[in-house]
A and B are shown apart, each in its own frame.
Chain A
Amino acid sequence: MSEILLETHGLTKEFNGFTAVDNVDLQVRAGTIHALIGPNGAGKTTCFNMLTKFLPPTRGRIHFKGRDITGIAPADVARLGLVRSFQISAVFPRLTALENVRLALQRARGNSFDFWRSETALRRYDNRAHQLLFDVGLTGLADTAAGLLAYGQKRALEIATTLALDPEMMLLDEPTAGMTHADVDRIVELIRSIRTGRTILMVEHNLSVVEGLCDTITVLTRGRVLAEGDYATVSRNPEVIAAYLGSDAPELAHA
Chain B
Amino acid sequence: MSASATPVALGAARPGLFGFTRAQAVGFLLMLAAIVVLPHVLYPIFLMRILTAALFACAFNLMIGYVGLLSFGHAAFYGMGAYVCAWTLKFWHLDAAAAILLGGLTGGLLGLALGYLAIRRSGIYFAMITLALAQMVYFFCLEAPFTGGEDGIQQVPRGTAFGIFPLHQDMAMYWLVAGIFIAGFLLIHRVIHSPFGQVLKAIRENEPRATSLGYRTMHYKLIAFVISTFLSGIAGATTSVVFGIATLDGVTSARSGDVVLTTLVGGLGTVFGPVVGAIVTTSMENYLAQFGSWVTVTQGAVFVVCVLAFRRGIVGEIAAKLRLSL
A90 touches B206 (CB 8 A): yes
A188 within 8 A of B: no
Report B-chain residues with C-beta under 8 Å of the C-beta of A102: 198
Q: How large is the interface on A (under 10, 10 to 19, 20 to 34, 35 or more residues)?
A: 35 or more
Q: How far is B199's CA from A108's CA once the two chains are assembled, in angstroms?
A: 13
B5 touches A94 (CB 8 A): yes
Report B-chain residues with C-beta under 8 Å of the C-beta of A84: 212
Q: How large is the interface on B (under 10, 10 to 19, 20 to 34, 35 or more residues)?
A: 35 or more
B296 within 8 A of A: no
Q: How far is B220's CA from A252's CA once the two chains are assembled, in angstroms?
A: 48
Q: A residues near B, CB below 8 A?
A: 52, 54, 73-76, 78-79, 83-86, 90-96, 98-99, 102-104, 106-108, 111-122, 143, 145, 147-148, 161, 165
Query: Which residues of chain B (205-245) have a CB below 8 Å from chain A?
Result: 205-206, 208-217, 219-220, 223, 227
Report A-chain residues with C-beta under 8 Å of the C-beta of B18: 118
Q: How far is B191's CA from A148's CA once the two chains are assembled, in angstroms?
A: 26
Report A-chain residues with C-beta under 8 Å of the C-beta of B216: 73, 75-76
Report A-chain residues with C-beta under 8 Å of the C-beta of B214: 75-76, 78-79, 83, 107-108, 165
Report A-chain residues with C-beta under 8 Å of the C-beta of B195: 106, 111-115, 117, 119, 121-122
B196 touches A94 (CB 8 A): no
Besides the known contacts A85-B212, A99-B198, A114-B195, 11 further A-B residue pairs in the complex with CB atoms under 8 A apart:
A86-B212, A91-B209, A94-B201, A103-B199, A112-B196, A113-B223, A114-B196, A116-B194, A117-B194, A118-B194, A161-B213
B10 touches A145 (CB 8 A): yes
B15 within 8 A of A: yes
Query: Which residues of chain B (32-60) have a CB below 8 Å from chain A?
Result: none
Chosen A-B contacts, 21 in total, with CB atoms closer than 8 Å, are A73-B216, A75-B217, A85-B212, A86-B208, A86-B212, A90-B209, A91-B206, A92-B209, A94-B205, A95-B201, A106-B195, A106-B199, A111-B195, A112-B220, A113-B196, A113-B219, A114-B196, A115-B191, A117-B194, A143-B12, A145-B10
* Chain B min CB distance to A79 (Å): 5
A119 touches B205 (CB 8 A): no
Q: B residues near A, CB below 8 A?
A: 5, 9-12, 15, 18-19, 190-191, 193-199, 201-202, 205-206, 208-217, 219-220, 223, 227
Report B-chain residues with C-beta under 8 Å of the C-beta of A93: 5, 205-206
Chain A: which residue is nearest B7 at the CB level? Answer: A145
A96 touches B15 (CB 8 A): no
Chain B: which residue is nearest A147 at the CB level? Answer: B10
Q: How far is B19's CA from A42's CA once the two chains are assembled, in angstroms?
A: 50
B198 touches A90 (CB 8 A): no
Q: Among A94, A117, A121, find the residue whose CB has the most chain B CB atoms closer than 10 A.
A: A94
B213 touches A119 (CB 8 A): no
Q: Among B10, B191, B212, B215, find the residue whose CB has the most chain A CB atoms closer than 10 A.
A: B212
Q: How far is B223's CA from A87's CA once the two chains are assembled, in angstroms?
A: 31
Decide yes or no: A96 and B212 within 8 Å by CB, A90-B206, A103-B202, A119-B195 being known contacts: no
Q: Which residue in B5, B199, B206 is a CB contact (below 8 Å) of A112?
A: B199
